[in-house]
Structure 1
Amino acid sequence: MAFGAIIVGDEILSGRRTDKHFPKLVELLQARGMKLSWARYVGDELGGLVEILRQSFAAGDVVFSFGGIGVTPDDRTRQAAAAALGVRLALHPAAEAILRAKFGDEITPHRLQLGVFPVGSGIIPNPFNQVPGFSIRDHFFVPGFPVMAWPMVESVLDSRFRHLHHAEDYVERAITVRDGYEGGLIDLMEAITAAYPDTNLFSLPTVAETDRQRRSLELGVKGPAASVSKAMEQIKVAVGERGYAWQDKV
């Protein structure tokens, strides 16, 4: 099952704000032995939002969408989700009850709009201020505020996708190969990939930008602990036999 992220907001694309959701989602997934497969950044323009959501709904991935679910004129994510699915928007009964309990006599039609979601949606509880997000078709829509969004994402991962957790048996190990370059180790990478199909091999080269820097290559494997251990031992032996110096990546 692939996990994706959609991060919404003109303020991200213009540089007025720095996105924090991407690294946090990577962290939350990795802590549970899962990984992020893709991420998209998109502005507040409705047409662009609709197109991206049509693509992601069609792909069948699990997607976390951050931002654009308020009720100001530039918040268009809920409308885009409904349009992408070809359904109407409606006030969700459970969301309405939460909002009425929160605001009491100060409830207004404007505040009730916070509970308007595409028909068929479920709600995502918000432990920070109780205003819920919504989910539909394995897409989970949360606010752009990290203090709200991250606990909501964690609750989804630990309830809806607990069966996918394999953190205890999912590890990542790597070595730094001094003066190594990918071209000289491709055959080794291919052999490791073929021998351990339940793992994912990665290589991250570093280019020497000054005379004082040395070229290096971070070479590693991630996956089930037993397979990663065997793969890394084979990599270390092979790299040493080829005359490269290496050290464990901490």
Structure 2
Amino acid sequence: MSNYMENSSYKPKYPVQTLGKALDVLLYIKNNASADGVSIAELSEYLNMGKSTVHRLLDTLLAYNFVEKTYSTSSYKLGWGIYDIGSSVPFQHSLNNTNFYPLLEELCNECSETVNFGIVNNNSIVILYKAEPNIKIRANVNIGGNEPLYCTAIGKLFLSTFSVQEVKDYFNHVEVVNYTNNTITTAEKMFPELSKITKNGYSIDNEEFYVGLICVAIPVYDYSGNLVAGISVSGPSERMVQNKIDAVLPKLKSTCEKLSMYLGYR
């Protein structure tokens, strides 16, 4: 069973066979090794490689500390060199990196509405980036400003991950402002809304922060499966009618999935 690639639809145009075999070895050890490691015989059988080939590959990987040998059993397990490489992945694929901003611009062009990218900080939403369409009437969202969780689409995504007690504590400790007639101002009224968000996978700010502004948001997850950000599409209520929201949601979902994958979520 050679070519042990996983979680990848990409096929190299000019594959290096020896490198591919070495990576097959690493992936097999990662997925199958016990605490005692994997033997050369096992690798040879399951990866359909000769024992001498497996031995040479392991010897090279050993030199780079990508595997380590258990001398009492002559078996192999992953080495700390692999961990050292892997530990730099979250840093290079972090929310501080601006490489994914073109995704937001692309979504903005597809929807012809403002696209916002926000994270949570001290029980508030901070918009890190926004992409604006080239139209006269559009949502006016401030980058870097703090927005409440309870009346914004991205904020309610984060609230939906809170426990019942955490939601109650949140409403007891923040200054709740009734921004519009649609603002949800109590935990009891928020619970049905959060259940709907969990069920649907998206949240809507129905003129709850600003009169005349409607936002729809979908979560972004990182490699550990944690909700780390949200992307919203916002626009004037006369444009963001149900048909428009229904058209926006698949595009928004696709963008959030791409960004989540960029952050390592599978």
Q: Smaller-chain TM-score range?
A: under 0.3
Name the one with the larger strand percent.
Answer: 1
- TM-score of the superposed pair, with normalisation by structure 1: 0.27
- TM-score of the superposed pair, with normalisation by structure 2: 0.25
Q: Which structure has the bigger radius of gyration? A: 2
